[in-house]
Every structure is written in C-alpha cells, then in structure tokens.
Amino acid sequence: MDNKLNDIRRKISFLRGEMLRYEDTIRKQVNRDEDCSQSSRQLMAMRVVMLGLIAERNRLGGEERLLNVDERLKVDVRAVGRGALGRHER
C-alpha cells in the first residue's frame, strides 16, 4: 500500500507542475490577446484528474493536514544546533 500511496503522491506532484505550466501559458495567451480556451479546457481536465488522485490518496490513508497561516508561521524550519543566521556559536 505504501508503494501505491507514494505512486499517487508522485503523480500529484507531477500534475501540479504541469498545471502551473498551463496556468503560465494561459496568462501569456491572455496578455497577447490570444484564444486560451484549449489550454483552459486542458487545465480543467487536469483539475478533475487531481481531485481523483487526492480522493484516492485520502482513501488509502495518506491524507495530509494543511496548516493555516498562524500554524505555518509557528513552524521552526531552522536546522537543529545552528545559531542565528547560520553562524557558529563559540
């Protein structure tokens, strides 16, 4: 089951990257006053696939809790044992 869950996470990650590229393409097409309907339809189809992958991931027990802004700000992302700004303490 872990392999299937990891495979789904990998697909989600890849699909997120593809979606970002399509969003960038759509922005460029809009800025050039070009028709972006085909790209928009493809992006919407990707969103449907994404929802299916997320549902499958959650069904397998891989649900990930999203932190709100306050919780994200409280998370300490510095490495353990490092001083301020990465300087070594003496």
What does pLDDT average to over the chain? 85
- Which is higher by pLDDT, 31 or 80? 31
Question: What pLDDT is stored for residue 90 in this prediction?
Answer: 43
Answer whether residue 77 is part of any domain.
Answer: no
Question: What pLDDT is stored for residue 83 in this prediction?
Answer: 54
Enter the pTM of the model: 0.67
Answer whether residue 26 is part of any domain.
Answer: yes
Answer whether residue 25 is part of any domain.
Answer: yes
Cβ contact 12:58 at 8 Å:
no
| pLDDT band at residue 63 under the 50/70/90 scheme | confident
Answer whether residue 74 is part of any domain.
Answer: no
**Domain count within the chain:** 1
Buried b (16+ CB within 10 A) or exposed e, 14-26: eeeeebeebeebb
2 φψ region: left (φ > 0), alpha (ψ -120 to 50), beta (else): alpha
Answer whether residue 56 is part of any domain.
Answer: yes
Per-residue pLDDT tens over the stretch 36-52: 999 999 999 999 999 99
Answer whether residue 81 is part of any domain.
Answer: no
* CA distance linking residue 44 with residue 35, whole number of Å: 16
Answer whether residue 35 is part of any domain.
Answer: yes
Answer whether residue 88 is part of any domain.
Answer: no
- Which is higher by pLDDT, 79 or 54? 54
* CA distance linking residue 77 with residue 90, whole number of Å: 22
Asked whether residue 88 carries a pLDDT value surpassing 80, the answer given is: no
